[in-house]
Amino acid sequence: MRGATGKNNSDLTEMNRSAVMKILQQQEVCSRADIARQTGLTQAAITKIVASMMEMGIVSEVGIITGSSDNRRSIGLKLNADRHQIIGVKFAREMFALGVFDISGKMYTQTETKFPLEENPQIVLSAMKKQIHDMLKKYENVVSIGLAVPGPYLRDEGRIAVVTRMSSWHTINFIEEFKEEFQKPVFIEHDANAGALAEWFFGGHGQSLHTLAYFLVGEGVGCGMIERGRLFLGVQGSACELGHVSVDVLGPRCECGNYGCLEMYCSASALWKKAQKYVPECLPGENLKGGETLQSGDACNAIFEAARLGNQKALDVVREIAEYIGYGCVTLINGYNPDVIIIGDVVSQGGDLLMPTILEVVKQRVIPELHTRVQIKISNLQVDPTLYGAAATATNKVLQLPSMFSAAGKWGPGK
């Protein structure tokens, strides 16, 4: 825990393979010289590491490329990303989604399954497992499964501590349910951590980020924080529960026991409730086609649409939500000092309407030295950040321990 664990030569080799793999995961094609420069290792050392990775099937040569800095011609290297496929599983209220990806973030397929809130969890889990087994049969290069669940998720116990409106799920042990079921390693993170990893690995933010905050504003409100390449987890894995940080300690009580939690003011449900009170005429009917009930995402989009058309009451509702998202950003900046905050999930679909207010709040409330440094953006991932994040959760592990997931390794598909 205190960094007092020793390292031996095979740890060293694996750390260096991991460094090479992370560079190739981000840059697609690189020469050995490029990699040597970025890792700070000698070209001789890189030649040796790359040779072992080529032998393991992780890396291939792709012909001659021209260096970006020195214009010298050299052999290009690329990651055999498709040799490391991942099944990502998003578990959420009333739905789960599955996707097959590779470690470069390429998506091969995805499915989405809805279920009623009151459904027996075992029935839902069985359906989920069956779909995973089917995908494992079809995609033979799957090396790992990543699962994203709503937070706060207790990592050692394998269960979700608070799931609004889904109390029967509190006792489900996700580790037990999934670790034994498949011949592949399964990694589980809560949705906001997963989203942060998705932005980190697939978001194209470049390699210079120090601290990335993914601010999830959806059914729930949460945050995933990556500092110097690692998730900030806390002892039970439930750090950064921004949704349950109080913005008014004397405010109304939250389901979690705390008072005035941020989640109560700017989640999709909060937006929906405000809309029902102030602009019910903008909401679609509660019952959609075929008895399907209105999802809060649809409700949010209806309000955003009305606001874009100039409905003043809708604009006021949206502005109020945006102010609280802004307060959340202020807390993130003073509490975690990230260089980028990426806002994602349902509510962020109102990005163009929200951003001016968010930036105004931040500018007004944060000292200039910090607010001029931080970038605040709406996520522009092309895949649902939580599903993508489920895949990124497993990708993170593959990139940390390349040899373990190669054909020759302990968990490799060859075994």
Touching its own copies, residues 97-136 (CB under 8 A)? none
Tally Cβ neighbours within 10 Å of residue 163.
22
> Which of 78, 365, 377, 397 lies at the binding interface for its own copies (CB under 8 A)?
365
Nearer to its own copies, 12 or 123 (CB): 12
CB-nearer residue toward its own copies: 89 or 172: 172
Which listed range, 93-101, 185-193, 204-212, 295-303, lies at the site for its own copies (CB under 8 A)? 204-212
207 binds its own copies (CB under 8 A): yes
Site for its own copies in 343-362 (CB under 8 A): none
Residues from 251 through 290 that contact its own copies (CB under 8 A): 256-259
Question: Do 287 and 293 contact (CB within 8 A), yes or no?
Answer: yes
Site for its own copies in 157-196 (CB under 8 A): 157, 161-162
- Are 279 and 300 in contact by the 8 Å Cβ rule? The answer is no
Size, binding site for its own copies by CB under 8 A: 81
Least distance in angstroms from the C-beta of 131 to its own copies:
30
Cα 192 from chain centre: 6
Q: In what order do the strands lie in the sheet with 29-31?
A: 29-31, 73-79, 59-66
Name the minimum Å distance from CB 368 to its own copies: 8
Q: Give the one residue of 120, 287, 334, 380 binding its own copies; rule: CB under 8 A.
A: 334
> For residues 225-244, which are near its own copies according to CB under 8 A?
227-230, 232-242, 244
C-alpha pair distances (Å), 50 with each of 13, 39, 81, 92 = 11, 13, 15, 40
Binders of its own copies among 3-62, rule CB under 8 A? 3-9, 11-12, 15-16, 18-20, 22-23, 26, 38-42, 45-46
Taking the C-alpha atoms of residue 301 and residue 268, their distance in angstroms, rounded to an integer, is: 10
| Residue among 65 and 256 whose Cβ is closer to its own copies | 256
Q: Which of 105, 159, 100, 169 is nearest to 131 (CA)?
A: 100
Region of 71 on the Ramachandran plot (φ > 0 left; ψ -120 to 50 alpha; else beta): left
Q: What residues pair up with 160 in beta bridges, in sequence order?
A: 153
**Position 155, amino acid:** R
Pick from 335, 351, 409, 413: which binds its own copies (CB under 8 A)?
Answer: 335
And the tokens for 98? 């599955």
